[in-house]
Structure 1
Amino acid sequence: MKILLTGISGQVGWELQRSLMSLGNVIYMGRNQLDLSQPDTITTTIRDIKPDLIVNPAAYTAVDKAESEIDLAMAINGVAPGIIAEEAKRLNAAIIHYSTDYVFDGNQNTPYRESDLTNPQNVYGKTKLVGEEAISSIGVNHIIFRTSWVYGLRGKNFLLTMQKLAREREEIKVVDDQIGSPTWSRMIAEITAQIVAKFQQNPSDFFSNKGGIYNLSPSGKTSWYGFAKAIFNDDFSNNERKLQRLIPITTQEYPTPASRPAFSLLDNQKLSDTFGLKIPEWDQALKLVLDS
């Protein structure tokens, strides 16, 4: 199988390089090789490579910056996935794409299912939803994974930001009224690889039976403050840390250019049932990260 993997410098893309390498001939591409803001480049690249499967974690992920860079965010998150899907369909190839919990408005108080009404409240979420809809409407063989609060040991994410601030500040204030589930980038990559392996075993009708949208995030829930507490494990005595106090605050006390949903917990039952996967709790995954 020839697999085209985009966005290899991102958190998920970097992990996917390792997870997919045993499953076929993987062609790795970062922004320098494949700029998703340039439609002609996308078309030419895919037609040259002729992949059997395109795995597309590449995205514009600067949630606040997207509010002022609407056209760029839309080009990468909204327009590019549609072009990729069109080219994949033309080659009779398949696509695995990644989306976000921010396609929901956060007004629910029960975990969102894949079939629940979308209503994004920021530019990032709106552009990601446009990308989802483009892929779904084209009729290409596809899986779209919605994930949430992605973090890992590289790139820009909440875990690394908290660790950095703990070395610089005695006090950190963290929002405590937004609820979700932190998702380790390696978990995303490993679940993706398991599903690609299942596809290889039965490619003929795999997507007709199992294609579509899935929530890919851990079980359990927390707030950003709860996530931060778990990162530090209430231990502020570490010699590398200046941090003495972690203080919970409200969203109103920490205004940002982009609105965030107050509740964006994703129900992962469909993913678990369809593919026979056991998905860990978010805090179990975080412990593995911290122990490593």
Structure 2
Amino acid sequence: MNKVLVTGSKGQVGSELNELASLYPYDFFFTDRDSLDITDEQSIRDFIDLHNIDIIINCAAYTAVDKAESQKDMADAINHKAVKSLAQISKEKNIKLIHISTDYVFSGQNYKPYIETDFTAPNSVYGSSKLDAEKALQKINPKNSIIIRTSWVYSSFGANFVKTMLRLGSEKDELGVIFDQVGTPTYARDLAKTILEILPNVQNENVDIYHYSNEGVLSWYDFAKEIMKMAKRDCKINPIETKDYPTPANRPHYSLLNKSKIKQKFNIEIPFWKDSLDACLKVLGERK
């Protein structure tokens, strides 16, 4: 039975992988920063040797996008240098590596959904650290390894936009939510399931990149409206512009990802964003 190391197991995707693990024929080792410091290469090597790891699913990341602007070294250590170490070890030991990246590697100024080969130009420290990881992984080039870029991740686990809206929707009569940033949410459970489904078929000589989010297109404003509607929150959502809600880090205005490649390569279907939101709200006990 293949032995799978999952890093960042208490994050959104890692937690969903943990929920689904019993349905798949793998021996999983779920770690977080308390049980495995991925910024310490020797610690990774010792863990992998001890448990004879065959596959790594790297869900660990520094995701505090705004804090990253002032904590550049920490973001680089977790998002870039740790991935470089994972890639090097994977190459040496012939380990299959699945690494999760982000739409933030793009400038967000496109006019059609981004394909995997589109020009990258991050405009935040977080995005730059994730792109540096992609480049390091591709340069080291461990066999049978892939990068999956995703966007707007939410889950019943952890802190995210959906849970924030549910909380604020109960506390406030109205909210302002940005309408000029467009993309697609990703239910972390859908992404986790896809990773586990495609795992046996990931076989490639060179590191390959795929895009994954749910289907559809919307703004954060549209997303917030639908959350309130499905959860029956009596909270008015007002559209505001990005300039009316300044943040330390720049966000992409356009985050649509073209998923054709992953769908065709692995013959998968991707759920529509409303269906996935409905499923998540049911898990949270919020579907009214």
Identity %: 43
For 1:29-48, list aligned pairs within 5 A.
Answer: 29-48=31-50
Question: Are residues 1:277 and 2:268 paired?
Answer: yes
Conserved 8 A contact 1:23-1:197 = no
Conserved 8 A contact 1:6-1:56 = yes
Deviations 1:28-87 (A, max 9, x none): 111111122333322332233331111111111111111111000000000001101111
Q: What corresponds to 2:113 in structure 1?
A: 111
Structure 2 unmatched runs, 5+: 284-288
**SS of aligned partner of 1:153:** coil
Q: What corresponds to 2:196 in structure 1?
A: 193
Distance in 2 separating the partners of 1:2 and 1:227: 38
Distance in 1 separating the partners of 2:52 and 2:62: 25
Question: What amino acid maps onto 1:66 in structure 2?
Answer: A
Conserved 8 A contact 2:211-2:258 = yes
Deviations 1:206-264 (A, max 9, x none): 2238x5100011121111111101111277xx4xx5x4321110000000000001101
Taking structure 1 as the reference length, the TM-score comes to 0.92
Distance in 2 separating the partners of 1:133 and 1:173: 37
Question: What amino acid maps onto 1:251 in structure 2?
Answer: T
Question: What amino acid maps onto 2:222 in structure 1?
Answer: G
Taking structure 2 as the reference length, the TM-score comes to 0.93
Question: Are residues 1:264 and 2:255 paired?
Answer: yes
Match of 1:71 among 55, 65, 73: 73
Structure 1 unmatched runs, 5+: 200-205
Q: What corresponds to 1:203 in structure 2?
A: none
Match of 1:153 among 148, 152, 156: 156
Q: What corresponds to 2:55 in structure 1?
A: 53
Conserved 8 A contact 1:46-1:87 = no
User: What is the number of equivalent residue pairs in this alignment?
Assistant: 280
Match of 1:101 among 82, 98, 103: 103
**SS of aligned partner of 2:33:** coil
**SS of aligned partner of 2:98:** strand
For 1:150-229, list aligned pairs within 5 A.
Answer: 150-199=153-202, 206-208=203-205, 212-229=208-225
Q: What corresponds to 1:25 in structure 2?
A: 27
Conserved 8 A contact 1:36-1:75 = no
Q: What corresponds to 1:202 in structure 2?
A: none
Q: What corresponds to 1:254 in structure 2?
A: 245
Distance in 2 separating the partners of 1:223 and 1:36: 35
**SS of aligned partner of 1:233:** helix
Deviations 1:90-138 (A, max 9, x none): 1111100100000000111100000000000001110011111111111
Distance in 2 separating the partners of 1:6 and 1:110: 33
**SS of aligned partner of 1:23:** coil
Conserved 8 A contact 1:37-1:72 = no
Question: What amino acid maps onto 1:263 in structure 2?
Answer: Y
Distance in 1 separating the partners of 2:26 and 2:9: 16
Distance in 2 separating the partners of 1:123 and 1:258: 8
**SS of aligned partner of 1:154:** coil
